[in-house]
Amino acid sequence: MTKMVLRLSIPGAAPDGAPQPHPVYGLQLQQQGTLGVVPAEGSATIDWIEVPVTLDDGAVVRLRRPTIRVEALALGDLGRDVFMSARIAPPLAGLGHLEAIPAAALHALAARDVGDGIRGRVNRIHGGYTVGRFGHKANVASLREQVAIALHEDLGLTSELFPEQNCPHIQFDCARQPPGRRPEVGNDQLDDLVAFLRAEPPPEREVEDHATIRLGATLFRTMNCVGCHVPRITPDAPEAYTDLLLHDLGDGLADGRPEFEAGPRDWRTAPLWGAGAAAAAGARFLHDGRARSLEEAILWHGGEAGDARARYVGLPQSSRSALIRFLSTL
Alpha-carbon span 227 to 256, nearest angstrom: 25
pLDDT band at 270 (very low <50, low <70, confident <90, very high): very high
Residue 240: partners with Cβ closer than 8 Å, 6 or more residues away: 94, 97, 98, 202, 231, 232, 233, 271, 272, 273
Average pLDDT on 145-153 reads: 96
Average pLDDT on 69-77 reads: 95
CB 123 within 8 A of CB 132: yes
Least confident of 5-19, 163-177, 286-300: 163-177
Residue 283 has a pLDDT of 95
CA angle, 170 then 174 then 177, to 5°:
140
The length of the chain, given as a count of residues: 330
Instruction: Please write the tens of the pLDDT for every residue from 285-314.
Output: 999 999 999 999 999 999 999 999 999 999
Q: Which amino acid is at 192?
A: D
Alpha-carbon span 65 to 51, nearest angstrom: 7
How many CB atoms are closer than 10 A to CB 255?
22
pLDDT at 261 over 80: yes
3-state per-residue secondary structure call for 33-91: CECCCECCCCEEEEEEEEEEEECCCCCEEEEEEEEEEEECCCCCCCCCCCEEEEEECCC
How many CB atoms are closer than 10 A to CB 294?
20
* Beta strand spans in 190-330 (E): 246-248, 266-268
Number of domains in the chain: 1
Residue 200 has a pLDDT of 96
Which residue range is the domain that position 306 belongs to?
A: 4-327
Taking the model in full, what pTM does it have?
0.95
Average pLDDT on 168-176 reads: 79
Alpha-carbon span 49 to 144, nearest angstrom: 37
Q: Which amino acid is at 79?
A: G
Residue 179 has a pLDDT of 73
Query: What's the whole-number average pLDDT of the chain?
Result: 94
pLDDT band at 248 (very low <50, low <70, confident <90, very high): very high
Instruction: Please write the tens of the pLDDT for every residue from 80-132.
Output: 999 999 999 999 999 999 999 999 999 999 999 999 999 999 999 998 889 99
User: By C-alpha distance, which of 163, 3, 11 is closest to 81?
Assistant: 11
pLDDT at 62 over 90: yes
How many CB atoms are closer than 10 A to CB 194?
20
Residue environment code for 216-233, b if the CB has 16+ CB neighbours within 10 A, otherwise e: bbebbeebbbebbbbbeb
Instruction: Please write the tens of the pLDDT for every residue from 29-57.
Output: 999 887 778 889 999 999 999 999 999 99
